[in-house]
Chain A
Amino acid sequence: MEFESPDVEKDFPGLYASESGKKSNESDFSDEAHERVSKKDLLIGKRKDKKDSKKDRGSPSKAKKSKPFKFPSKKEKREKSREKDSKEKDSDKDKDKKKDSDKEKDKKKELKTKLKLKERKKLKHGEESLDIAEEQPIFGVALPLALERNRCHDGVEIPVVIRDCINHIQETGLCVEGLYKVSGIKSKVQHLRRLYNQREAVCLSDYDIPVCTSLLKLFMRDLPEPILTNKLVARFEEAASLKDMAAREAELKALVQNLPACNRELLGWIMKHLSEVAVHEKQNKMNIQNLSLTLSQPLQMSQKAISALVQHCDAVFPDIKLTKYIAPLTSGSPGLPESAEAIAEELKKQESLLGQIHSEMNAGFVTKEREELLWEVQRMITQLKRKLRLLEKGLESSQKSVGDETDAVLPTNDSGKSASSVLPTTTTNGSKSAAGLPTKEEEPALNTAVQTPVSSPTVGEPAPPLNPAPPPPAATKHVVEAIIENSDSVCSAQDGGAVLNKDSSTDQTSSSSVDELALCLETEELLILVNQLQSQIANEKAKVANLRAEILSYGGNPDYCHFLIENCSRDFDASMCTDNPEAEDGALLKQVVAETQVLQLQKKNLTQTIIEEQANCINLKIQMKLLQIASS
């Protein structure tokens, strides 16, 4: 491919007039103005956002994509000492006046913040309201700052806002005609910018693709310094003009190494993404030339530079892979990960998030919401750690001594809470989550089933104090808790009362040794069940691995399978891409999707039945054994 005339650098036709009018140094001012307005809007409330996003539905964004987004497996570690590097380089750039003034502004703000902080300390808790969007925005600040304030918590060092944009476009936008050329509705773009600046949770996939592309352009255009840096931008331009392909590639490669790590990473992400966009030029009508024309101004580099970087992106950014960002779990998430590795990975994310919350709070941005979040993330970390620890210990904890347990079971001297309450409830939860199906409905069924033997009067006379050796009661609890970690501790506490009543009534009617025996038997059975389920899970995992390998061998991406299915069912009628043979046969697709859904439902029901049956089996086995013991 040839890239023509070099001198058009500053020659931007009015193709994208709607957005491109502003020069980057103007945008700083407009920035402030926006924030002023935004505050008012914010006071009016967040409900508006939801409406906005609803209205966004059904536009070109939902165009069918032809291929699943190629997000290779994550765990791509690019740990480079970004921080000091980039910060030092930053301070080098003294020639740039605007930057200086920026810095001063920042310093003033910092001072102001500190003052407010002092004032605040005298105020009552919870009344703080420094505006983070105003004091520490994400848009319009130097890249290292933006990154610091808008981190991806999975180690990829680009701002979340860009990651979200690229993510959404890669998933559903690659075939949208005029991608990056068509501008999004301005008010929505501004609204999104405000949300990001405000650190609100944003669901970008609710927005149209053009809104996303405009948002990305806005972020890039608002960077006070070009992503290629003032120092290197001219050399990049030179390199891009080299006629000899190999020389050009080599030179670009070398130059990129001189960029601060965060610039390099972001540049790589954008170029790799643009290269994907160009691959779909048949559908989106955006070849490299069109793209570079459209993006030259926002990216603050010449068309030629863009073309060259896109063209050579694989060689220049060999270590950058576009991976989907999965945000840290929240309390609303369905459950904790199961495997130790997944837990460890999630823990890292949560720790990163926690660090961010702390630094925001330390900077004086203390709101009720952020405090809430702090405790919540902390809670998530605690749960993850507990689960990890117990997974690591495995089931060996059955060696726990009984002594502690008897102490722990002493009745409490306070209201509403029983020391001995946890057992049956956690048992329930244990089998539940071990089955990997934390559906709420299962709980009552199991609960009653498992509890029955304990309170059932089947055992008339006191049985001999036979203690089936291995798992003493203490072990039960530990084993059981090893598995329940993802279930909310709330339920165990809640059920405590009911269980307590039952326990004490049993105590009165039959001897406690029967009770203990029943519990031991139950423990035994549950341990067996746990083992069974664990081996089943292992089996399933092996199968999954095989299937993933198979998908890969067909050239697909296993991580994106579910997106395919989801998108099919949601908007397969909007298929704009012609190179997708299935999409053309809409009726067939519809049918398959419907069938799949029915089957999924059936599967769910069956699983539930199995779980109930398992509980019943345990129940019966315990009764049998109790009777056997009683009669012997």
Chain B
Amino acid sequence: MSKKPSGGVQPALHKVIMVGSGGVGKSALTLQFMYDEFVEDYEPTKADSYRKKVVLDGEEVQIDILDTAGQEDYAAIRDNYFRSGEGFLCVFSITEEESFQATQEFREQILRVKNDEQIPFVLVGNKGDLDEKRKVPLADAQSRAHHWQVPYVETSAKTRDNVDKVFFDLMREIRSRKMEENKMSNGRGKDKSKRKKLRCALL
């Protein structure tokens, strides 16, 4: 049962946030990924958070998933979550045109809070199993993703198609983003900037 010894160090933790309109399958994707379960009945989420240990390219890491509401009512608290997210799965349903339009809005919100065009982000077209009811042409989704310079993946929370893929792809992006940041700020950039900040506060 024992996994590779991580040398007593806490495994890396990647924070993923699910965004998208209500009913597109954010919770379904999350639950499928977390517990291999698919829930038929729709139960609006307020916000839920999950943690799971996974092996990412041979390295044991933890993923924190925050499954959000997607409704306007919770906009006040939304920013608090968005701010702490390191990567975003922006989900729409391929059977619902409006949900695809809404991704634009979500993207903007995220960029506003994170202020970072490079933020790890995957555009996810869910309910791929309902291809006969497709309302969002593949090409449209792909061109939007291309425009944003992000990957586009179609999933099905029902059949588990590509479910792992979107989470793992996003984690890889987050990981390489973190590595880049560390390099840029000479190894321990985060700590350093924090210390500097504290000193400023003192003055």
A residues in contact (CB < 8 Å) with B: 39-40, 43, 121-122, 124-127, 129, 131, 357-358, 361-362, 366, 368, 371, 374-375, 378-379, 381-382, 385, 404, 407-410, 412-417, 419-422, 444, 447, 477-478, 481, 488-490, 493-495, 497-498
CB within 8 Å of A: which residues of B?
A: 1, 3, 15, 32, 34-38, 40, 47-58, 62, 64, 66, 76-77, 80-81, 83-84, 113-115, 158-160, 162-165, 168, 190, 193-194, 197-198, 201-202
Chain A nearest Cβ from B130, distance in angstroms = 14
Which residues of chain A have C-beta atoms less than 8 A from B76's C-beta?
A: 358, 362
CA distance A171 to B150 in the complex (A): 59
State the CA gap A378–B46 with chains docked (Å): 10
> Min CB distance, A302 to chain B, in Å?
43
The residue of chain A having its C-beta at the shortest distance from the C-beta of B57 within the complex is A415
A422-B115 in contact (CB<8A):
no
Given contacts A408-B36, A412-B160, A477-B36, contact A125 B84 (CB under 8 A): yes
Decide: B49 and A417 in contact? CB cutoff 8 A.
no
Q: B43 to chain A: closest CB distance in Å?
A: 9
Least Cβ–Cβ distance between A330 and chain B, in angstroms: 14
Known contacts A414-B164, A493-B53, A498-B1, A407 near B80 by CB under 8 Å: no
A374 touches B36 (CB 8 A): no
Residues of A within 8 A of B56 (CB): 415-416
A121–B48 CB distance below 8 A: no
Q: In the complex, which residues of chain B have a beta carbon less than 8 angstroms from the beta carbon of A422? A: 35-36
B-side binding surface: helix, strand, loop or mixed? Answer: mixed
Q: What chain A residues lie within 8 Å of B160 (beta carbons)?
A: 407-408, 410, 412, 419
A366 close to B66 (CB less than 8 A): no
Residues of A near B48 (CB, < 8 A) are 378, 381-382, 385
Contacts of B50 on A, CB cut-off 8 Å? 379, 382, 489
When the two chains form their complex, are residues B190 and A126 in contact, meaning their CB atoms are under 8 A apart? yes
Q: Determine the residue in chain B with the shortest Cβ distance to A122.
A: B115
- Docked complex Cα distance between A416 and B55 (Å): 5
Determine whether the beta carbon of A494 is less than 8 Å from that of B197.
no
B31 to chain A, nearest CB (A): 9
Given contacts A404-B38, A415-B55, A490-B62, 4 further A-B contacts (CB under 8 A): A124-B193, A125-B84, A126-B190, A481-B37
User: Does B80 lie within 8 Å of A358, measured CB to CB?
Assistant: yes
Q: List 16 A-B contacts (CB under 8 A).
A: A124-B193, A126-B194, A358-B77, A371-B80, A375-B66, A378-B49, A379-B51, A385-B48, A404-B40, A414-B164, A415-B168, A417-B168, A419-B36, A419-B160, A489-B35, A489-B50
In the complex with contacts A127-B193, A415-B56, A489-B51, A43-B202 CB distance below 8 A: yes
Chain B residues within an 8 Å CB radius of A412: 160, 163-164
Whether B52 pairs with A489 at a CB distance below 8 angstroms is yes
- The residue in chain B whose Cβ has the minimal distance to the Cβ of A367 is B194
What residues on B are CB-neighbors of A381 within 8 Å? Answer: 48-49
Give 9 nearest A-B pairs by CB, closest first.
Answer: A416-B55, A378-B49, A414-B164, A382-B48, A371-B84, A379-B49, A412-B164, A361-B80, A493-B53
Closest-by-CB residue of A relative to B59 is A416
A444 to B1, CA, bound (A): 8
Answer whether A417 and B54 are a contact pair too, CB < 8 Å, given A375-B64, A381-B48, A408-B37.
Answer: yes
- Complex Cα–Cα for A385 and B37 (A): 16
Q: A124 vs B50: C-alpha distance in the bound complex, in angstroms? A: 25
Bound CA–CA A415/B76 (angstroms): 37
* Closest Cβ–Cβ distance, residue B102 to chain A (whole Å): 23
Judge whether B35 and A129 touch: CB under 8 Å.
no
User: How far in angstroms is the closest Cβ of chain B from A473?
Assistant: 11
Contact (A374, B80) CB under 8 Å given A379-B51, A495-B1: yes
Instruction: Give the distance in Å from the alpha carbon of A417 to the alpha carbon of B160 in the complex.
Output: 13
A122 neighbours in B (Cβ, 8 Å): 115
For residue B37, give the distance in angstroms from its CB to the closest CB of chain A.
Answer: 7
> Known contacts A382-B48, A408-B37, A481-B37; is A129 also within 8 Å of B201 by CB?
yes
Report B-chain residues with C-beta under 8 Å of the C-beta of A357. 80
- Which of A40, A358, A444 neighbours the largest number of chain B CB atoms within 10 Å of its CB? A358
Q: How far is the CA of A407 from the CA of B157 in the complex (A)?
A: 10
Which of chain A's residues have a CB closer than 8 A to the CB of B113?
121
Cα distance A385–B50 in the bound complex, in angstroms: 12
A131 lies within 8 A of B164 (CB) = no
Residues of A with C-beta under 8 A to B51? 379, 488-490
- Contact pick for A375, options B84, B114, B159, CB 8 Å: B84
Shortest Cβ gap from A440 to chain B (Å): 12
Check A366/B38 contact, CB under 8 A, given A43-B202, A126-B194. Answer: no
Q: How far is the CA of A379 from the CA of B15 in the complex (A)?
A: 13
Distance in angstroms between the alpha carbons of A125 and B84 in the assembled complex: 7
| In contact, B53 and A490 (Cβ under 8 angstroms) | yes
Q: Which residue of A lies closest to B181 (CB)?
A: A124
Residues of B within 8 A of A407 (CB): 38, 158-160
- Separation of A400 and B51 alpha carbons in the complex (Å): 26
Specify which chain B residues have a CB less than 8 angstroms from the CB of A416 in the assembled complex: 54-58
B174 to chain A, nearest CB (A): 13
Give the residue name and chain of the B residue nearest to A407 (CB): B159
Say yes or no: B1 contacts A39, CB within 8 Å: no
Within 8 Å by CB of A414, from B1, B15, B47, B165, lies B165
- Distance (whole angstroms) from the CB of A372 to the closest CB of chain B: 8
Q: Please indicate which of the listed interface residues A358, A417, A495 has the most CB atoms of chain B within 10 Å of its own CB.
A: A417
Q: Which residues of A contact B3 (CB under 8 A)?
A: 494, 497
Contact of B159 among A126, A366, A410, A417 (CB under 8 A): A410
In the complex, chain A residues whose CB is within 8 Å of the CB of B202 = 39-40, 43
Shortest CB–CB separation between residue A153 and chain B, in angstroms?
17
Min CB gap A571→B, angstroms? 36
- A197 CB to closest chain B CB, in angstroms? 15
How many angstroms from the CA of A152 to the CA of B33 in the assembled complex? 36
Whole-angstrom CA separation of A526 from B3 in the bound complex:
27
- Complex Cα distance, B50 from A216, in Å, reads 39
